[in-house]
Amino acid sequence: MAAKRLKGVILSVEDTIMNMGQIDQAVFREVEKLMAFFKLRGITPILLANRKRFTTNKETGDKRDLYDALDNHFEELKIFTRQRDGNVPPKPQAAATQYVLDQMGWESNEVVYIGSNDDDMRTAVNGNILFLRATWYSNNTEYGFEFSQPKEVARFIDTLCLREHFWSHQIIDGDFEYYALAPFSTYKEAFRKYSENARAAAKVGQGNVDFWLGALVTSMYFTGIQKRINFVAAYPGHQAGTDNEKMKHDLLTFAKCFRKNYLHDLIERHTTALKSQTARNQGVALDHHNQLNTIKLNRLPTRNYTTTYANPPLGRGKTVLLVDDICTKGWSLDAARKYIEKTRAKTIMVTWLKTINTNYCPIGDLGDFNPYQANRFSNVQMTQEYSYHQHLVDQNASEELGEQLEQYLNWDWPQ
């Protein structure tokens, strides 16, 4: 699966490049820095607009075409508007962004869309383009990944969208598909700092959750995983219940960007699972049964926290993106995979990190069972393991991720 690289950004005018009326000069100066950043990184900014707009000279009262003014102010900006080219389809039609992509020779996941309102959101969603919501002038919509300053967008792009190594681990074996961003180890010096940050984000809530979810979202986007899924679900924590609090916002946003449904309650932890450390303290040896016997699927889950399905949504021809934070032997992911595949749906599994030098251990045949009820399995065998080293497909991913985390934490406008 060939990864794409960010080549351009599509922007709207209103409340993105500038606000209407009296221009907020302080914010506009930050937008100017964003445009300079695009030029420095070789990213082409595109303005896509429907309406004719004018700017008025405060001293003389003379009106001037706004797009001509922006042309002169931002030399790298390419403008697509129906006033200049009658062939440009109107927003929010999918044809509008497709016209831009065709003219520039780009694919949809070589671009991100920066906008500020519902019309921008619909344009991005219709074009299957990742939507970044600008709230630096005004907060006009609840959709998309929110950025309150142009600097935040630049940091997101610089540290996450311009990576060259998206997955360190990749297992593809028939319908079995798993990806991880980088190896996990708090002992190996090269991995220690970012691994400690990820562990804190995953277990304690003290690390940089936005970085890890941003890395996961951009890796999925630029490698096209969103094109092959129907639903998104996060694996629940150890406590009885559903959902994954730390992941739900970004996974919901990612799903809605591409007209997928986030099923926060698809996987239910019906019984609190024993934690590994607790088990060790009690002298209990845990294995995959600790996961198999404490989860089940919800037959009628809720999509995007709004609507409960009237009929089971999973089945043949459907694919669930299954997300977790840190994978050791894969027992959690694989338990969920076995339950989901019992509905005849497929899974694509992704995690932040994969524990170093530890093989992925798939769970064997569970026999006939109902995935929508609590089950009690015993003596379930494992199948052939997937070698950690054999499926370490990119050893540069860990170094790059560590460097990008450092940059993310200390990022400032490039000089």
Domain contains 93: yes
Domain contains 244: yes
What average pLDDT does the structure give for the chain? Answer: 93
From the CB of residue 113, how many other CB atoms can be counted at a distance below 10 Å? 26
Residue 31 vs residues 23, 27, 165, 253: alpha-carbon distances, Å:
12, 6, 29, 24
Q: 145 and 273 share a domain?
A: no
Which stretches does DSSP call E strand in 206-266? 231-234, 261-262
Q: 275 and 376 share a domain?
A: yes
d(CA 321, CA 306): 19
Does residue 58 carry a pLDDT above 80? no
d(CA 340, CA 314): 8
- 274 pLDDT tier (thresholds 50, 70, 90): confident
Q: 81 and 228 share a domain?
A: no
Q: 122 and 182 share a domain?
A: no
Last residue of a domain, one of 112, 141, 161: 161
Last residue of a domain, one of 102, 136, 161: 161
Residue 357 vs residues 141, 176, 185: alpha-carbon distances, Å:
45, 20, 9
Domain contains 298: yes
- 308 pLDDT tier (thresholds 50, 70, 90): very high
Q: 394 and 248 share a domain?
A: yes
Q: 157 and 173 share a domain?
A: no
Percent of the chain with pLDDT over 90: 82
DSSP H or E run through 27: helix 25-41
Last residue of a domain, one of 161, 183, 200: 161
Q: 81 and 224 share a domain?
A: no
The CATH number of whichever domain residue 70 belongs to comes to 3.40.50.1000
Domain contains 79: yes
- 242 pLDDT tier (thresholds 50, 70, 90): confident
Which whole number is the average pLDDT over 2-30?
92
Domain contains 296: yes
Q: 205 and 63 share a domain?
A: no
d(CA 342, CA 175): 13
Which stretches does DSSP call E strand in 18-118? 44-49, 54-56, 63-65, 78-81, 111-115
Q: 208 and 320 share a domain?
A: yes
Top-confidence residue, 51 or 146: 146
Domain contains 408: no
Helices (H), 42-144: 66-73, 94-104, 118-126
Domain contains 2: no
Which whole number is the average pLDDT over 71-88?
92
Residue-level pLDDT at 204:
65
Does residue 98 carry a pLDDT above 90? yes
Output the six-digit token pair for 382.
Answer: 């494992």
| pLDDT tens-place string over residues 249-269 | 899 999 999 999 999 999 999
The CATH number of whichever domain residue 306 belongs to comes to 3.40.50
Output the six-digit token pair for 274.
Answer: 């024993």
Which of 32-36, 142-146, 243-247 shows the lowest mean pLDDT across its residues? 243-247
Which of 215-224, 280-289, 392-401 shows the lowest mean pLDDT across its residues? 280-289
Residues 6+ apart with CB under 8 A from 307: none
- Count of structural domains, the chain: 2
Domain interval for residue 87: 8-161
Q: 156 and 173 share a domain?
A: no
- 57 pLDDT tier (thresholds 50, 70, 90): confident
The SS3 of residue 22 is coil
Which of 277-286, 292-301, 398-407 shows the lowest mean pLDDT across its residues? 277-286
Q: 173 and 150 share a domain?
A: no
Q: 53 in the Ramachandran plot: left (φ > 0), alpha (ψ -120 to 50) or beta?
A: beta
d(CA 208, CA 214): 10
Domain contains 410: no
Q: 369 and 223 share a domain?
A: yes
Q: What is the largest CA-CA distance in the chain?
A: 85
Top-confidence residue, 321 or 22: 321
- 192 pLDDT tier (thresholds 50, 70, 90): very high
User: How deeply is 327 buried, as exposed, middle or buried, from its count of CB atoms within 10 A (0-12, 13-18, 19+)?
Assistant: buried
